[in-house]
Amino acid sequence: MLKSESLQIAAEDFRYLLNRGYPRKAALELVGNRYGLTFNERHRLHRGVFSDQDSKWRKARRISFHQIRNKDLAIDGHNVIITLEAGLSGLPLIFGDDGFIRDISGRSGSYRTSERTEEALLLIFEALKRRKPRHTLFLFDAPMSRSGELAKEIRGRLKKEGIPGDARAMKVPEKVLIGFSGIVATTDTAIIDRSKQTVDFAGALLRKRLKPGSILGLRKTPHRSKKIKALTPQGETK
């Protein structure tokens, strides 16, 4: 069996277990061990595969990109910029079951600004000028490198472009993002699940720029049975 086929089957088994209430961490370990998946392959499943219920919940809260016009918008700064940079650099992205495009390069913890950051910011500001949200708030994780400088730079750009908005570096930006009264631009599942409306900001921009096949997917295959063999914690079939 080809590795891609094995990963697809692993994704279906992972989804099956999630749909039956298995804890996410335990289910991923079980399936990962069963198919001998690498760390990167497990990460791909983690970022792209969700239960049907969670996917339906998030899709109901996701609005289309053009609907940000005249609305208050909060942007999960590092989340959006890192996703854009990954796509622009040709790094892997995945289209999740819940309809969001996510970066799977695992760079968040070691993120540093680069020449791609400027390219990503240009795309973001072009989109803001075109879609015209009422007010845009960028929020960055203060502990991450150059967060304060990045927020300051964006405040300057907002003023220069005449775009109503602000940018802040905060120790815990989730405190503002979760419960924000307007639209939240993020692919962070914890934030999406507690937001009224969300938008896949980076995904909307990348769809227009990437070649077909650049975004990976682990969708269900109609020919495969909905049932799988029961698995023991060691990953062996009973």
Residues 67 and 152 in one domain: yes
HSE, CB side, 13 Å, CA atoms: give it for residue 45. Answer: 32
Residues 126 and 207 in one domain: yes
- Identify the pLDDT of residue 68: 97
**Which residues constitute the domain of residue 20?**
3-49
In a domain, 24, yes or no: yes
Residues 210 and 117 in one domain: yes
Residues 12 and 127 in one domain: no
Residues 184 and 70 in one domain: yes
Q: Residue holding tokens 């769809």?
A: 207
Residues 169 and 200 in one domain: yes
Interatomic CA distance for residues 113 and 110, integer angstroms: 10
Which residue intervals of the chain are DSSP H helices? 3-19, 24-35, 39-48, 52-61, 77-88, 115-131, 147-161, 174-177, 189-192, 201-207
Residues 97 and 209 in one domain: yes
Q: Residue holding tokens 């910029």?
A: 81
Residues 7 and 117 in one domain: no
Describe the crossing of helices 24-35 and 3-19 by its angle, rounded to 10 degrees: 150
Of 13, 3, 73, the residue nearest 36 (C-alpha)? 3
- Identify the pLDDT of residue 154: 97
Describe the crossing of helices 77-88 and 115-131 by its angle, rounded to 10 degrees: 110
In a domain, 132, yes or no: yes
Residues 43 and 75 in one domain: no
Question: Are the beta carbons of 163 and 130 closer than 8 angstroms?
Answer: no
In a domain, 236, yes or no: no
Residues 82 and 190 in one domain: yes
Q: 175: burial class by Cβ within 10 Å (0-12, 13-18, 19+)?
A: exposed
SS3 180: coil
Interatomic CA distance for residues 5 and 175, integer angstroms: 41
- Identify the pLDDT of residue 6: 87
- Identify the pLDDT of residue 180: 95
Question: Are the beta carbons of 99 and 214 closer than 8 angstroms?
Answer: no
In a domain, 167, yes or no: yes
In a domain, 229, yes or no: no
Residues 84 and 38 in one domain: no
Interatomic CA distance for residues 91 and 82, integer angstroms: 11
Residues 97 and 192 in one domain: yes
Domain count for the chain: 2
Residue 235 host element (H or E): none
- Identify the pLDDT of residue 225: 40
Ranges of the chain whose pLDDT falls below 50: 222-238
Interatomic CA distance for residues 137 and 155, integer angstroms: 10
